[in-house]
Chain A
Amino acid sequence: MSNAPLRRNLITPATLVLAALAAIALYFIALRLIYGLGAVTNLNSGYPWGIWVVFDIIIGTAFGCGGFAMALLVYIFNRGEYHPLVRPALLGGLFGYTLAGFAVIFDLGRYWHFYNLLLPWYAQPNSVMYEVALCVMAYVVVLWIEFSPALLERWGLSGLKRNLERWMFVFIALGVLLPTMHQSSLGSVLLVMGSRLSPLWFTVWLPVLFVVSAVAMGYGVVMLEATIISNSFALPSEHALISKLSTVVGWIMVGWLALRWGDLIYRGDVQLAFVGNLKSGMFWLENALMLAAVLVFLTPAGRASQRASFLGAAALLAGGSLYRLDAYLIGQQPISNWHYFPSVPELMVTIGMVALEVLLYLVFIKTLPVLHGDAANA
């Protein structure tokens, strides 16, 4: 039971395409820094936050919740059998969060003041954003520490690694606490929107809906990643573990759907789902995707099939992403007649950031002991 690097070529057609996409993104980021946000994005007065915020940060960090979700299962609920999935999940989280932090910097209008967040005389503890910012910064550090045994192993620093592992429980605990805090706060951010957010999404339960769906998405990422990696590199399948995990995820999602619908009906806003506009359509799409994933995860036939489990995890991630996209963009009701659709450069930056994330992931699993060892060298 150990982890080992995957012995494969670093330079492949796939990694070259990923690197090219990342380079295009860097070009547009440079333009943004030289000419301002308006020169590159379609942001406007009614939509001050676009896909850089919503996709790279809000959705991106949810995709980065694999490490959080697996640590919760393995170390808090003591399900050691899932341990082989922890390190790859942490690596996914590492890049999800690190790049979200990078995206924050170039999305900030006055990024050169970024450090003001850390200066006590500017602190504003009532601000949800302040909590999110500090918490995410701390969590990026925690993720690197949680992942560092892989680096220390690679560099042969086993003494340091042993010392670190003695204290690792502190970082594991922080690695569960911090995402619980800031993923729920990403829902709380919207509590100030009042009538500017459609009641299909606006509820006092936003923090709970956000953190629970983030945990579910974390498992979804782990399931997807394990399947893709074992298929693309012809490694032994982790499907036995995945199919056990899917029961857990299925019930979490049942709870999420029950809370969402129960609250919507209790508030008496459920009729908005039947209006037949873009908002109600998106609302149904989110719920249909979530329900499809539940049906796969909670039926024996669905769990048994590797293909169905894969599609189920994809549906879960799509549903969770749309939920965030809708809550932050499509469900918004701007005051004047503003419209927003991302510009091509804006999209290219987001695509490039994802490409960079995948690229770094591939480089890391090929150079560092990340994957389940017996599998990695089979």
Chain B
Amino acid sequence: MTDVDRRDFLIGAGFATAGAAVPSDASAIARPPKEMPPQAVGMLYDSTLCIGCRACVAACKAANNMPADIPEHLSGWNEYTWDSAEDLSGRTLNVIKVYRNGTVEQKDREIDGFAFVKRHCLHCVDPSCVSVCPVSAMKKDPVTGIVSHDADACIGCRFCVFSCPFGVPQFDLNNPFGKIAKCQFCSHLQKDGKVPACCDVCPTGASLFGTVKDLEQEAARRLAAPAGTPYRFPRGKLGEDRPPNVATIPSYIKGTYGEHEAGGTQVRYLAGVPFPKLGLPKVGPQSPASLAEGVQHTIYRWLIAPVVAFAGLAFLARRNAGRTDADEAPTSRRG
């Protein structure tokens, strides 16, 4: 917003002028997008390597003390012993879902095929949940970039659930003292130098932990290699000396998911089936938080506008209330 615009706004000191300074072009008023923290950690999930074993789901539950999730329609055969989470929920931070089409013959094929996908927090570079939370319960670590949640601060307004472009945070609606549940990238394990549970346990390297920079290079290598080339897929943590998963390069959909979505994230997806088919939502490259904060910061910069508006309103109210109420005698009538 230019100084001229701001002066106009201050003079107007009302909603009509506040509006006049706002162009209809959504990017013009947005605040600058945030930058990826230099030592950001992330995850590369390669759908073509995933065998759907769900060891990551079980490991996640164990690492984060999350209860089993048994949907009602499965409770007939499942006597509350077998975790069968179907989607992210107040009890599930990480879930494997399956894409199926036609005869479901071949893995990672769009037509008559199937594919797995893992859903959890993507740890946005400029997270909506952090921007919208009124009590700083959602925070982004300035070094690792991990988006964490503090239930002691949370008031349960569920704005994070409402606003997340990826549908990640979930509120446990079935508990009178429910909490927001979201993947915090096992930051408690990372503190001790360990690998997040899902990546640690993944037998094929489909979930791979590392710094975002390294993971981006790894993804580029896989995308550059011709299909059918033998390839040593790292497992656990990129750069760690675990034995790799030796397999061949599949035919990837070009590009990664998570690089540009919502202003960029710290998770990257590779897949053999178009990302929307896997249920990964189409999200534009602008961070939604940058627009909302841009508008809000424009209106409330240094609280100048509200203060000036208040002074003007108080002046008018004082002058006019005297005139209006002058003939108003206190009444002693009782009902």
Per-residue CB contact flags for chain B residues 119-149 toward chain A (1 = under 8 Å, else 0) read 0000000001001111111000000000000
Asked, given contacts A7-B335, A76-B316, whether A204 binds B22 with beta carbons under 8 Å apart, the answer is: yes
Q: Find residues 307-328 in chain B having any chain A CB closer than 8 Å to their own CB.
A: 309-310, 313-314, 316-321, 323-325, 327-328
Q: Contact: A108 with B156, CB < 8 Å?
A: yes
Could you say which of A3, A43, A267, A335 contacts B281, with CB atoms under 8 Å apart? A335
Majority SS at the chain B contact face:
loop
Complex alpha-carbon distance, A146 and B313, angstroms: 15
Residue B82 CB within 8 A of the other chain: no
Complex alpha-carbon distance, A43 and B162, angstroms: 11
Q: Contact: B293 with A126, CB < 8 Å?
A: yes
Asked, given contacts A4-B333, A76-B317, whether A36 binds B176 with beta carbons under 8 Å apart, the answer is: yes
Asked, given contacts A154-B334, A367-B335, A368-B335, whether A193 binds B163 with beta carbons under 8 Å apart, the answer is: yes
Asked, given contacts A124-B134, A204-B295, whether A192 binds B128 with beta carbons under 8 Å apart, the answer is: yes
Complex alpha-carbon distance, A48 and B157, angstroms: 9
Complex alpha-carbon distance, A158 and B161, angstroms: 50
Residue B2 CB within 8 A of the other chain: no
Complex alpha-carbon distance, A242 and B83, angstroms: 63
Asked, given contacts A109-B178, A116-B135, A170-B314, whether A131 binds B171 with beta carbons under 8 Å apart, the answer is: no
- How far is the CB of A154 from the nearest CB of chain B, in Å? 7
Q: Contact: B161 with A116, CB < 8 Å?
A: no
Q: Contact: A161 with B330, CB < 8 Å?
A: yes
Residue B81 CB within 8 A of the other chain: no
Most buried by A among B286, B297, B320, B323: B320
Q: Find residues 170-188 in chain B having any chain A CB closer than 8 Å to their own CB.
A: 170-180
Could you say which of B29, B154, B174 contacts A204, with CB atoms under 8 Å apart? B29
Categorize the interface residue count of chain B: 35 or more
Per-residue CB contact flags for chain A residues 42-58 toward chain B (1 = under 8 Å, else 0) read 01111011000000000
Q: Find residues 62-84 in chain A having any chain B CB closer than 8 Å to their own CB.
A: 71, 74-76, 78, 80, 83
The interface-forming segment of A171-179, A277-285, A339-347 is A171-179
- How far is the CB of B31 from the nearest CB of chain A, in Å? 9
In this complex, what residue of A is CB-closest to B283? Answer: A195
Q: Contact: A165 with B333, CB < 8 Å?
A: no
Residue A292 CB within 8 A of the other chain: no
For A251, list chain B residues within 8 Å (CB).
Answer: none
Residue B217 CB within 8 A of the other chain: no
Q: Contact: B332 with A156, CB < 8 Å?
A: yes
Could you say which of B15, B136, B299, B314 contacts A212, with CB atoms under 8 Å apart? B15
In this complex, what residue of A is CB-closest to B281? Answer: A335
For A161, list chain B residues within 8 Å (CB).
Answer: 330
Q: Contact: A129 with B134, CB < 8 Å?
A: yes
Residue B282 CB within 8 A of the other chain: yes
Q: Contact: B14 with A208, CB < 8 Å?
A: no
Q: Contact: A369 with B26, CB < 8 Å?
A: no
In this complex, what residue of B is CB-closest to A162? Answer: B330
For A117, list chain B residues within 8 Å (CB).
Answer: 134-135, 155
For B166, list chain A residues within 8 Å (CB).
Answer: 335
Per-residue CB contact flags for chain A residues 101-117 toward chain B (1 = under 8 Å, else 0) read 00000001111011011
Q: Contact: A80 with B323, CB < 8 Å?
A: yes
Residue A211 CB within 8 A of the other chain: yes
Asked, given contacts A169-B321, A180-B15, whether A191 binds B332 with beta carbons under 8 Å apart, the answer is: no
Residue A20 CB within 8 A of the other chain: no
Asked, given contacts A74-B324, A110-B154, A129-B159, whether A123 binds B128 with beta carbons under 8 Å apart, the answer is: no
Complex alpha-carbon distance, A193 and B25, angstroms: 16
For B229, list chain A residues within 8 Å (CB).
Answer: none
Per-residue CB contact flags for chain B residues 270-300 toward chain A (1 = under 8 Å, else 0) read 0000000001011110101101110111011
Residue A232 CB within 8 A of the other chain: no
Residue B23 CB within 8 A of the other chain: yes
Asked, given contacts A1-B328, A45-B161, A184-B15, whether A173 binds B314 with beta carbons under 8 Å apart, the answer is: yes
Could you say which of A109, A184, A366 contacts B158, with CB atoms under 8 Å apart? A109
- Apart from the given pairs A168-B317, A205-B22, 15 other A-B contacts in the complex at a CB distance below 8 Å: A45-B161, A75-B320, A114-B155, A123-B136, A124-B135, A126-B297, A130-B134, A153-B331, A170-B314, A184-B18, A188-B296, A204-B295, A208-B18, A335-B166, A369-B335
Q: Which 8 A-B pairs have the closest CB atoms?
A: A109-B156, A5-B335, A38-B173, A110-B156, A208-B19, A335-B167, A173-B313, A169-B318
